[in-house]
Structure 1
Amino acid sequence: MTPRLSTVILPVRPWREGGRDQWLRAEQLGFHTAYTYDHLSWRTFRDGPWFGAVPTLTAAAAATGTLRLGTLVTSPNFRHPVPFAKELITLDDISGGRITLGIGAGGNGFDATALGQEPWTPRERADHFAEFVPLLDRLLTENVVSHHGTRYSAEEVRNIPGCAQRPRLPFAVAATGPRGMKLAARHGQAWVTTGDPKLFEDGTPDQSLEALRGQLGRLDHALAEIGREPGAVEKILLTGFTPERNTLLESVDAFVDFAGRHLELGFTELVIHAPIPDSDFAADQNVFEAIATEALAQLGG
């Protein structure tokens, strides 16, 4: 499989003040997919501009023509599968079938309490996720859906005509634990990881590679348990959260070295953040663009 290079555009720029230009530039640079985060606010960006993922992707779909688009990632923290399915079907239609849904269990950040609820425990997050994903799968593939579950209900919900992509738009399931891996194996067309968070501060690149090797092995095991081949699911690494995060975008050579080691491990798609000045994602725009246009060629992709 030819390796893919994609980007994440955080929704922090007003559309008419550089936001639109970023998505157009991502297409011009040849990125496979441009994703955005699906949060109500996020970390150090909480007190600044932050726009909604679905409207942003809708505008990006209208502005671009070939670039794939998606979330990285959506979670049940503030989403309900019934109205969200309708939004996704509409978005897939507007884009002409260019949407990938990155989806995960969510965390304990601002989204977890924005609706006035107590933050879920890790087990509660996993429980919601385990019901959310199969129900969303049904809502995007069946014309009429009823479901009466522990956490979500749907009563004769119509989703006609369904997705532009058949049988539905692809899911990229973010998971590291056993329950999430099983969901990725059963429902995912791709699997997403950011690495091992325990190694974020003090881990080494070699430790990170070994942790990722273990995650890939657990995914392969989950796939084998249900009779799917390892190659049936793409492996996506969202970069910027491993020990190399501060040097990753310093030069094309630095990125090529990083990418080569991780593609050899088994990843099929690497995702880099579009630079945001004065933030954790600050980087030289020229280097970022050079990586986009030169890195895969150096790797033989």
Structure 2
Amino acid sequence: MKILPSLFSPAGKNAKLSIVIHHRVLPEPDLLLGSGGIKTFETGLNYLVNNFNVLPLSEAVNRLRSGTLPSCAACITFDDGYADNAEIALPLLQQYGVSATFFVASGFLDGGRMWNDTVIESVRLAKGDKLDLSSINLGIHVITTLEQKRKALTFLIGKLKYLSHETRASQVEKLSTIISAELPDNLMMTSAQVKRLHDAGMEIGGHTVTHPILASIDDTTARMEITEGKVRLEAIIGAPVRLFAYPNGKPGKDYLPAHIKMIKEAGFEAAVSTAWGAARQNSDLFQLPRFTPWDKSELFYVLRMTRNMKQEIQVV
């Protein structure tokens, strides 16, 4: 089926680079989040390998710049640094003989937990039929059914995401205290798992220290998050970290031109956003788009990937 995507992504100077984004690969589907498990991931991986030429991201960036990409070029990326990336995704990537880039928020390694996971797991484990967060101005939520829990989560994540780091941390801590559930401390990778990925031939990329939305923090803090995250990861893998992913990744909303400048000054060679589209030779290497189709059939997977190649790329 490579004939179809090759029509829109030929080799050479007119090539387009499709970068696929993932976060977690769970043993089973997560009914609360509505996300698929290992079978869904492997199905998509199989479709990608069957229809695209999968390259390491660093190689793809260099070949995009030089106009030497193969037809149907694609890359695989993971964001945040979840332990299942090393435990579940890595063996599958090795089985299919492809490389991926793992963008790791270094501050959550070795037992940390991202704020959104604290909220998700708290709501997942909340007891009773009602969740009363009115004391911290986050409302009262009926959580009798799975759908009601999903609705509560959507509301809470939306309310908390764009608060200042300090305010959000305070609110999440209060929420966690009110619900008082025993939360997991093994969601994120250990330093040893990051090293294992690197030693297996996977690429490790920067994703800041604590995953802040860069546009919502001051420049001094943003620069520290970018550079310190890079330094910590380089110490773990014993090699340069040359690629970066903007937390949350929406151009103009989550990162700004000033942050692109910081990324360059920190010594990164390319960066990825979460804007849809496929990169061209004249694309900004520090705002490369990413996209992941969700289709269950191979034909529709390829059609959606092909349609994404025609997407106008959003940049700042």
Question: Does TM-score exceed 0.5, indicating one fold?
Answer: no
For normalisation by structure 1, the TM-score amounts to 0.45
Q: Could you say which structure has the larger radius of gyration?
A: 2
Structure of greater relative contact order (alpha carbons < 8 Å, 6+ residues apart)? 2
For normalisation by structure 2, the TM-score amounts to 0.43
